[in-house]
Amino acid sequence: MKKTAAVLVLTMVAFWSCATYQTSSPALYIGELPASSVAELSLDERIQVEEAWAQLRNGNINKAQRILKELGARIPFYYAGIGYSLYLQGEYQSAQEYFRASLQYFPSILLGHLGLAQLYQEAGQDELAFDEFREILKTDPLHPWVKPRFEALRAGLTQKLEQEARTFFYKGNREDAKKSYLKALYYSPNSFESHATLARIFREEQSFQNALVHLKAACSQEPKNIEIKKMYADTLFLTEKYKESLVIYEEVQSAEPENKEIKGRIEIIKNRLGIFELPSQYDAIPTTDVVSKEDVAALIGVEFKNNLAGTVQKPPIIIDIATSWASRYILQVTASGIMDVYPNHTFQPARIINRAEMAEILIRLVDYLTLFGYSFIQHIPEERIQISDVSFDNYYYRPILKIVSYDIMGLTSERIFNPDRPVSGFEALRYLDIIQALIR
């Protein structure tokens, strides 16, 4: 009797030692073998790989591993397959290394991303799982298993970050609120709440360009939200983007036709657009090699529009500017004495301006602005300035000397001014920008 029992035990031990390890039905999703990569295998390899995948899905880990190891690491599915088997055995660190190796050696095979995403989710690392799912969707945007999980992760991460941001915002911690909302936009770029609140924060900080980015996005998400549209239009107005602002204000007005504040703002913008709606010739000035008198008149008229609102004297009689695109600006600069009309009542709008003439115009502009309380400091004492190519008796010597002393125009290292050289559009605009900066 004892002998029979011993034989039975030995027989059972031998049976289990030869059996293949098998798990219960795995919770792991094992991705499909990509047909394009399978097609590159030989018929025998294809059969073996498909068998290994079937064994993995049935939980027969040892059989799957044995087949894969026989095939070897040169097979595109080796690392991912071993990674799946290790995952099923609970050896997560080793599984992670194999999934990463799969992506390193066979980056076009998505199985590594799929394995890593599930590992990260298992470990509660949702941010990392999100990134892996996103890599899969870049190649297969409608992946039936990945897409719903990706969207669920996106929603959860966004909700968590926006709740965190709201808490910071209501406590007055704007900086941390900004960080959380910006991070939420990484997961949900179209989040209305994140864009709208970031716009408010940036407006508070007077960072209007950043505010505009988020206001535009918020308006695209909720085009019927009047409050956001008002904020968008106001911010465009503050940044002098009058045309864009007018479009948004008119949309608001159509929704609130009795709003007097909006009507008033629209009227203001339309008045200002009368100045800012410039001819196409104006836009070309900065790229021209030489500027004409009408170009310079237009640049001054636009750059200093607020300062030229009231003129020192009545506009002079000019007989040759009726067909000039810059006629209204010519009238402004000649009436204010910044540019001259010739004794025969001509302005000669197409005449090219050289550096000496530009110096005189700029000094007249400086003198004109001084009348309105602006002060200019000479950075270089006049007695220390030596100009080698302009003599003392030259008509333009004094304006050149003064404009150099203000450091608005300059000399070369050899103290040369080049009075006869034509002025380019870029140079003319730069000189006026310097004067603008000095009066701000």
**What pLDDT does 277 receive?**
53
Q: Are 270 and 290 within one domain?
A: no
Q: Are 269 and 291 within one domain?
A: no
429 inside domain: yes
Please write the tens of the pLDDT for every residue from 24-47. 334 799 999 999 999 999 999 999
150 inside domain: no
Place of tokens 């660190």: 93
Please write the tens of the pLDDT for every residue from 357-373. 999 999 999 999 998 88
9 inside domain: no
> pLDDT-based confidence at 309, cuts 50/70/90?
low
Burial class (CB in 10 A: 0-12, 13-18, 19+), 422: middle
Q: Are 83 and 40 within one domain?
A: yes
> pLDDT-based confidence at 305, cuts 50/70/90?
confident
Q: Are 369 and 334 within one domain?
A: yes
Q: Are 415 and 384 within one domain?
A: yes
Q: Are 316 and 418 within one domain?
A: yes
CA dist 300 and 307 (Å) reads 10
5 inside domain: no
Q: Are 120 and 170 within one domain?
A: no
Please write the tens of the pLDDT for every residue from 100-110. 999 999 999 99
Query: Which DSSP state fits 354?
Result: B
Q: Are 53 and 183 within one domain?
A: no
Cα separations in angstroms, 168 against 197, 202, 394: 12, 15, 68
Please write the tens of the pLDDT for every residue from 72-87. 999 999 999 999 999 9
Q: Are 103 and 205 within one domain?
A: no
221 inside domain: yes
409 inside domain: yes
Task: Report the CATH number that the domain containing residue 34 is assigned in CATH.
Answer: 1.25.40.10
398 inside domain: yes
Q: Count of domains in the chain?
A: 3
- Look up the pTM and report it: 0.56
pLDDT of 331 strictly over 70: yes
Please identify, among 89, 113, 143, the residue that sits at the C-terminal boundary of a domain: 143
Query: Which DSSP state fits 384?
Result: G
Please identify, among 111, 143, 175, the residue that sits at the C-terminal boundary of a domain: 143
2 inside domain: no
Domain of residue 350, residue span:
284-439
Q: Are 295 and 430 within one domain?
A: yes
